[in-house]
Amino acid sequence: MGALTLVGAIVCLMFALELGGKQYAWDSAQILGLFAGFVLLVILFVFAEMRASEPIISFQMFKARLYASSTILAMLSGAAFVAASVYIPIFIQGVLGGTAKNSGLVLLPMMLGTVVTAAGGGAVLTKLSYRTVMIPTLSLLVVGITLLTTITPETSHLTITVYMVFVGPGIGASFSVLTNAALHSFPLQQRGSVYSTLNFIRSLGMTLGITLFGIVQSQPFVDSHIDR
């Protein structure tokens, strides 16, 4: 029951976000029905999981503040990572008139920074606390994302590349450090469930991130087409 209601809820939410404002109006019966189905299935999922002897997602885990905060940060950083990876290349090619090669070069600093801080963040955990590692790296992520919100058709490739240098290190540390932080409060017998739940929520954040940013991106084009 937990698996069925969880999958059904996510499917309803994804279809509502994907079809809303495109094939169907946001206030149409189809979209409202999908959102209603999502809410109903989430309620059934919570009810089923609270009664299950071995739930898919144990809500007891979220009582640990370190795990709850790590999961939220993983979801948000995952959304930022996939949105930057997908929509910055679209901006480079569709707005600035660059090539696929230009798009790859712009992403290179972010990817390199992600790899370096993912490995480095895990390596320094024996000497530093989770908070000490995450605060400066997430600060870099916030700075990078803030800078990216200022780009215009007049922004140069070099400027965007510099902005991506800030984004990569902030995201990379979240992959290794947040995973270790989430596992910290639990015994060995629970860590498989803890790890898989964290990755599921991170992946959900990525999916929601790319979907919501896709809505933001496509809506002006839809409005422009309707006006014409």
* Bridge partner list, 20: 24
34, two tokens: 């999908």
> What DSSP state is assigned to residue 23?
T
226 — pLDDT class (breaks 50, 70, 90):
very low
Residues 181, 202: contact at Cβ < 8 Å? no
DSSP state of 28: S
Note the pLDDT of residue 221.
55
Cα separation, 36 vs 191, whole angstroms: 34
Which regions of the chain carry the CATH code 1.20.1250.20? 58-227
Q: Does domain 58-227 have CATH number 1.20.1250.20?
A: yes
Interior angle at CA 26, CA 24 and CA 28, nearest 5 = 60
% of the chain residues with pLDDT over 70: 95
In angstroms, the CA 76 to CA 68 distance is 13
Nearest-angstrom CA–CA distance, 107 and 89 = 8
What is the DSSP secondary structure assignment for residue 188, as one 8-state letter?
G
| Mean per-residue pLDDT of the chain | 82
Give per-residue pLDDT as tens, 72-89: 888 888 888 888 888 888
Q: Measured between alpha carbons, how far is 203 from 195 in angstroms, rounded to an integer?
A: 12
Phi, psi of 53 (to 5 degrees): -70, -35
Confidence of residue 44 (pLDDT cuts 50, 70, 90): very high
Q: pLDDT by residue (tens digit) across 164-205?
A: 888 888 788 878 788 888 888 788 777 788 888 888 888 888
Predicted model pTM: 0.74
Specify the pLDDT at position 225: 45
